[in-house]
Structure 1
């Protein structure tokens, strides 16, 4: 998968849109507010943060979700770094990432540090201040090889209608298997087949109000062992 990369168009010269999946990387209204609504609040964060907390993610994209979680972690004043593991099949370049993140000036030095580390190594081996790791390749193959259990999942693949592979039953089963007892997952989509796959993966699934014009999204809690 090493030769795979993002294929982008730019809307309003600022918002990256995947031409492969015909889907924007973040909300056309307010990407940062959507990330906070869907992935932080959807996983009951930052109130659940605790030492050693581990977030995992399907779809690294621009890195906005990592930055948002990292900032929230540091603002919450926890000792020690947050652990963040993400899976990405089609990474963008560092220049593309910098251009996309320019839409969020409040990310400031966090974004600069991410872009610098991304330019050096897309697995983020050189990024300090957070235990971050991006696993490149098809998550349907790479997640099964991992042994971690995440406390919270950010499920942020492109639209299930356009990228169904990242939401299929086998992959959602792997998400469930890589989640702690009573761990959580959240996603912007409320597609029926996604919710069914998550339920079959061992989660209690709830449809809740979405962000902006999106009526619904999905939150999940893994049943205790």
Structure 2
């Protein structure tokens, strides 16, 4: 199982340092409904990662049992396709790095989010947002096609989810413990991430896409 954790670790890091959810949770922690909104967002974020990854883990579990002369080739080709998609997404992010785009409407309305609405937003950013979804799909494929038991797959899924969700959970917990001390740090981090969002994501997706693509080609040759 250790090798599977090693395979999904870069993917978990990719989700964890994705700037948009970090910016979102920081804005919630600085809003007038900080406690409820940030807690809801954390719950939705974790559940979204778990559901998205779990679904593709189950779907990919049947890949190696397909009627084929070389069943492992199919899972390798899936990884190649995912790697290419991640590289294309990295290129798109890099081209948009200098664009002065307006913040999304949901980000402008964060002060009005309650627990329920922020939970839905967290779930959407984790399970529907294309960047994070591709990373969760890749993790699900890695775990689902690994030669490990069902129990070990569950452990790998939980480890991946906790690592991927840590960047949202840690600020929420830290703010609950020491709200006054966190405000200055959170505000500075928010400004930096907003200015460098596209660059961070493009480099991140480039590295992870290359890793996934390499794993796919490694299984073919």
TM range (shorter): under 0.3
Specify which structure has the higher proportion of strand: 1
TM-score (normalised: structure 1): 0.23
Q: Which has the higher relative contact order, 1 or 2, with Cα contacts under 8 A spaced 6 or more apart?
A: 2
More helix by share: 2
